[in-house]
């Protein structure tokens, strides 16, 4: 899953629903795997398929839409902390999720799996939805080094938040455990001072 | 500034990463079988062992069947996950309360019950309802599997410091109004994202007058408002509850601990990033009508008009109409249990309603204690006899019907009055329709066969 980020230029899959919870992203009955593989097939499982396995009328089943960017309504990823939701999004092939608001744990889970959550203003989000509705092949540009998201059709751009540490991680395929292991001496020193460990 | 959250957080800061998160020291890591296997694999792949194995406690709960636990789990995939936790705990020398172990149960019931979760601690688990442990005055929050791996590897986590919020509820809760109703009320006012980005301190008379079980229920539901966690400053109720618990300090160490814990409170000059205040007198028994926990109403109120497409979709899924009351709605299933309401007090409440009555014939009821200790205590109090006389059977501990991962799934289209924490589409089984409520409301639904105001059945 570790992959270096730079500039992503892609068409999008729109999901203009609010409060999309992690039970919808990946239902609990698919959480039984003991590895991280294969979750993409079950991304939004119950919205994609009927119980008999036939396809439902859902954006992921519509060949009109595709790309590495998922654009979703506000409060994306609320509910359970299951990282399987991030594995499903990454496994399906998304590298960026754009929304006006993310639930905390899920946002962190995406970052830890090299999926970039991009927070935009509600106004810009609605503009992006409108652009995609008009032209399903419309492109967005996500410039990670400059922390800039651009709607190629309208030319509108917004700066997005990403702390310097995580930006370094994403651009260099470096993860938190690499960092923590490099800082063991600080942990031992902390334990000594605070009588822990 | 100078909030209890600041005090506990600051006491665990190993370092502040430049233009980045805080490296936070973790006192307790709880592992269940669903969100840990990939973390243990990651550890192995890096050639590591847990850094502080004595601070890590493991138990299966999500996949465990709630009957015949002495037999192998029928579902081979569930069995594989539970077995993986056993093997990982053995290989890495971690404490493991396996199925049928007298300490086994739902991790968020067991932690406080065993005295593993203590005031002033930082506690994490790969489960969003880890906020439960905040009830003992700890900073407890749910994390993802990558973060579980971080804690296994270093007993630390990288985390941006959340903002602080105080929710004060003044006055006393009325008859038949429980901690669950209080939480559902707060969610209905604040929405499911109203506290996102915040760590919540609950305060006020309605909160401090809750028992420990009630506090655990309230803090459990913090995540359903989007909060990273929620906690209550420790007081005599906390100390009384924890005293003598197996993993709590004993003797002189206990006295010293209480002395220290007594300092754990927000200062009079504390400044919160956000403060909200509510009046307990406004709260009545609550029930949800939609597909997120914030879509709740007082039992005598009517379902509001949908404000957008997402809310309309929720009403369509639930097969409910705006402008109608839920009272009289026929119920197919009732679920008492989960990390939200699977404690002894919840069984007492349920029993108080069904005592001397009979379960409605068409209702299927699942009564699932949160741990073997709860089973032991309800038997000691004779509640099992009361429940059996009313036509209810008590199952074996586990997460059960809360999340549709084990055998206890509600069939498509069926309506369940549930004491659990989430009413998301398909949460309790594909197509299942969930109304979240308190154990009193669940008991009333179970004997009447429909949704009723539990106060009408109270002695």
Residue B270 Cα, gap to closest chain A Cα (Å) = 24
Where exactly are the structural domains of chain B?
Answer: 4-274, 286-457
- What mean pLDDT is predicted for residues B263-269? 96
Residue B63 Cα, gap to closest chain A Cα (Å) = 9
Cβ contacts (< 8 Å) between A28 and chain B: which residues? 62, 403-405, 427
B 353-372 residues inside an 8 A Cβ radius of A: none
Which own/partner contact pairs does A115-120 have at CB distance under 8 Å and 24+ positions apart? A115/A86, A115/A89, A115/A90, A116/A5, A116/A8, A116/A142, A116/A144, A116/A162, A116/A170, A117/A76, A118/A142, A118/A149, A118/A160, A119/A160, A119/A161, A120/A149, A120/A158, A120/A160
Mutation target to probe the A interface, by most A beta carbons within 10 A, among B158, B159, B398 is B158
pLDDT band of residue A2 (cuts 50, 70, 90) is confident
Residue B447 Cα, gap to closest chain A Cα (Å) = 30
Mutation target to probe the A interface, by most A beta carbons within 10 A, among B16, B144, B406 is B144
Q: Do A83 and B146 touch (CB under 8 A)?
A: yes
Q: Out of A19, A27, A175, whose CB is closest to B310?
A: A19
Would you call A181 an interface residue with chain B, using a CB distance cutoff of 8 Å?
yes
Q: Tell me what percent of the residues of chain B surpass a pLDDT of 70.
A: 100
- What mean pLDDT is predicted for residues B403-413? 93
Cβ contacts (< 8 Å) between A176 and chain B: which residues? 146-147, 150, 158
- What mean pLDDT is predicted for residues B340-359? 98
Which own/partner contact pairs does A29-32 have at CB distance under 8 Å and 24+ positions apart? A29/B404, A29/B405, A30/A84, A31/A82, A31/A84, A31/B34, A31/B62, A31/B405, A32/B34, A32/B63, A32/B75, A32/B77, A32/B78, A32/B80, A32/B81, A32/B405
Domain of A33, CATH number, reads 3.20.19.10
Q: Tell me what percent of the residues of chain A surpass a pLDDT of 70.
A: 99
pLDDT > 80? residue A1:
no
- What mean pLDDT is predicted for residues B351-355? 98
B 313-352 residues inside an 8 A Cβ radius of A: 313
Whether B4-274 and B286-457 share one fold: the answer is: yes
- What mean pLDDT is predicted for residues A156-162? 98
pLDDT > 90? residue B405:
no
Structural domains counted in chain A: 1
A 114-133 residues inside an 8 A Cβ radius of B: none
Q: What pLDDT, on a 0 to 100 scale, did the predictor assign at position A122?
A: 98
Mutation target to probe the B interface, by most B beta carbons within 10 A, among A2, A24, A26, A29 is A29
Question: Which residue of chain B is at minimal alpha-carbon distance from A112?
Answer: B146
φ/ψ bin of B382: left (φ > 0), alpha (ψ from -120 to 50), beta (otherwise): left
Would you call B126 an interface residue with chain A, using a CB distance cutoff of 8 Å?
yes
Would you call A100 an interface residue with chain B, using a CB distance cutoff of 8 Å?
no
Would you call A155 an interface residue with chain B, using a CB distance cutoff of 8 Å?
no
- Structural domain includes residue A184: yes
- Structural domain includes residue A1: no
A 29-48 residues inside an 8 A Cβ radius of B: 29, 31-36, 46
Q: What pLDDT, on a 0 to 100 scale, did the predictor assign at position B459?
A: 81
- Please tell me the CATH superfamily of domain B4-274, with its number: Aconitase, domain 3 (3.30.499.10)
Per-residue pLDDT of B138-183, as tens digits, reads 999 999 999 999 999 999 999 999 999 999 999 999 999 999 999 9
What does the alpha-carbon distance between residue B133 and residue B125 come to, in Å, rounded to a whole number?
A: 10
CATH topology of domain B286-457: Aconitase; domain 3 (3.30.499)
pLDDT band of residue B231 (cuts 50, 70, 90) is very high
Q: What pLDDT, on a 0 to 100 scale, did the predictor assign at position B337?
A: 98
pTM above 0.90, yes or no: yes
Cβ contacts (< 8 Å) between A82 and chain B: which residues? 34-35, 144
Residue B126 Cα, gap to closest chain A Cα (Å) = 7
Query: What's chain B's length in residues?
Result: 459
- What mean pLDDT is predicted for residues B304-329? 97
User: Domain range for residue A89?
Assistant: 7-194
Per-residue pLDDT of B421-454, as tens digits, reads 999 999 999 999 999 999 999 999 999 999 999 9
Residue B21 Cα, gap to closest chain A Cα (Å) = 8
Q: What pLDDT, on a 0 to 100 scale, did the predictor assign at position A61?
A: 97
């Amino acid at each position: 899953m570790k992959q270096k980020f730079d500039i992503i230029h892609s068409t999008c899959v729109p999901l203009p629903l609010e409060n999309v919870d992690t039970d919808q992203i990946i239902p609990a009955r698919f959480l039984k795997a003991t590895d991280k593989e294969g979750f993409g097939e079950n991304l939004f499982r119950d919205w994609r398929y009927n119980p008999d396995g036939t396809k439902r009328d859902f954006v992921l089943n519509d060949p009109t839409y595709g790309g590495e960017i998922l654009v979703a309504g506000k409060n994306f990823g609320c509910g359970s902390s299951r990282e399987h939701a991030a594995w499903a999004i990454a496994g399906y092939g998304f590298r960026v999720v754009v929304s006006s608001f993310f639930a905390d744990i899920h946002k962190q889970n995406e970052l830890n799996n090299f999926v970039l959550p991009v927070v935009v203003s509600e106004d810009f989000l609605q503009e992006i939805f409108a652009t995609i509705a008009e032209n399903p092949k419309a492109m967005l540009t996500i410039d990670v080094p400059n922390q800039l998201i651009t709607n190629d059709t309208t030319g509108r751009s917004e700066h997005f938040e990403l702390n310097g540490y995580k930006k370094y991680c994403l651009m260099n395929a470096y993860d938190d455990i690499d960092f923590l292991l490099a800082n063991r001496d600080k942990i031992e020193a902390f334990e000594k001072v605070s009588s822990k460990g | 500034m100078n909030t209890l959250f600041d005090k506990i957080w600051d006491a665990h800061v190993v370092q502040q990463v430049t233009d980045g998160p805080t490296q936070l020291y973790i006192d307790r890591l709880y592992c269940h079988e669903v969100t840990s296997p990939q973390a243990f694999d990651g550890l192995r792949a890096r050639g590591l062992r847990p850094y502080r194995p004595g601070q890590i406690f493991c138990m299966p709960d999500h996949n465990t069947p709630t009957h015949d636990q002495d037999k192998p789990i029928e579902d081979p995939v569930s069995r594989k996950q539970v077995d993986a936790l056993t093997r990982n705990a053995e290989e890495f020398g971690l404490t493991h309360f396996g199925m049928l172990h007298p300490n086994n149960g739902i991790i968020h019931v067991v932690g406080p019950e065993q005295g593993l979760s203590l005031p002033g601690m930082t506690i994490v688990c790969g489960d969003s309802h880890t906020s439960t442990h905040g009830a003992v005055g700890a900073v407890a929050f749910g994390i993802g599997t990558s973060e579980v791996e971080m804690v296994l590897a270093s007993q630390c986590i990288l985390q941006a410091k959340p903002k602080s919020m105080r929710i004060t509820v003044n006055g006393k809760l009325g008859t038949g109004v429980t901690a669950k109703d209080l939480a559902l009320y707060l969610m209905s006012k604040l929405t499911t994202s109203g506290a996102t980005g915040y760590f919540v301190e609950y305060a006020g008379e309605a909160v401090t007058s809750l028992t420990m079980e009630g506090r655990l229920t309230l803090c459990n539901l913090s995540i359903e408002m989007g909060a990273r966690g929620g906690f209550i400053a420790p007081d005599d109720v906390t100390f009384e509850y924890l005293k003598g618990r197996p993993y709590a300090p004993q003797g002189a160490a206990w006295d010293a601990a209480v002395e220290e814990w007594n300092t754990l409170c927000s200062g009079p000059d504390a400044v919160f990033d956000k403060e909200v205040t509510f009046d307990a007198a406004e709260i009545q028994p609550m029930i949800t009508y939609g597909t997120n926990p914030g879509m709740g109403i007082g039992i005598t109120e009517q379902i509001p008009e949908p404000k957008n497409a997402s809310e309309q979709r929720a009403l369509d899924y639930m097969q409910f109409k705006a402008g109608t009351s839920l009272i009289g709605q026929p119920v197919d299933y009732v679920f008492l249990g989960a990390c939200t309401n699977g404690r002894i007090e919840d069984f007492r409440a349920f029993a108080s309603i069904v005592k001397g009555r009979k379960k409605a014939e068409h209702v299927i009821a699942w009564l699932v204690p949160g741990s073997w200790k709860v089973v032991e205590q309800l038997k000691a109090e004779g509640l099992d006899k009361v429940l059996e006389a009313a036509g209810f059977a008590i199952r074996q501990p586990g997460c059960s019907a809360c999340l549709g991962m084990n055998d206890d799934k509600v069939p498509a289209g069926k309506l369940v009055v549930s004491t659990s924490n989430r009413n998301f589409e398909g949460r309790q089984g594909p197509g299942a329709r969930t109304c979240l409520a308190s154990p009193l409301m669940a008991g009333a639904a179970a004997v009447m066969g429909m949704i009723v105001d539990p106060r009408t059945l109270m002695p």
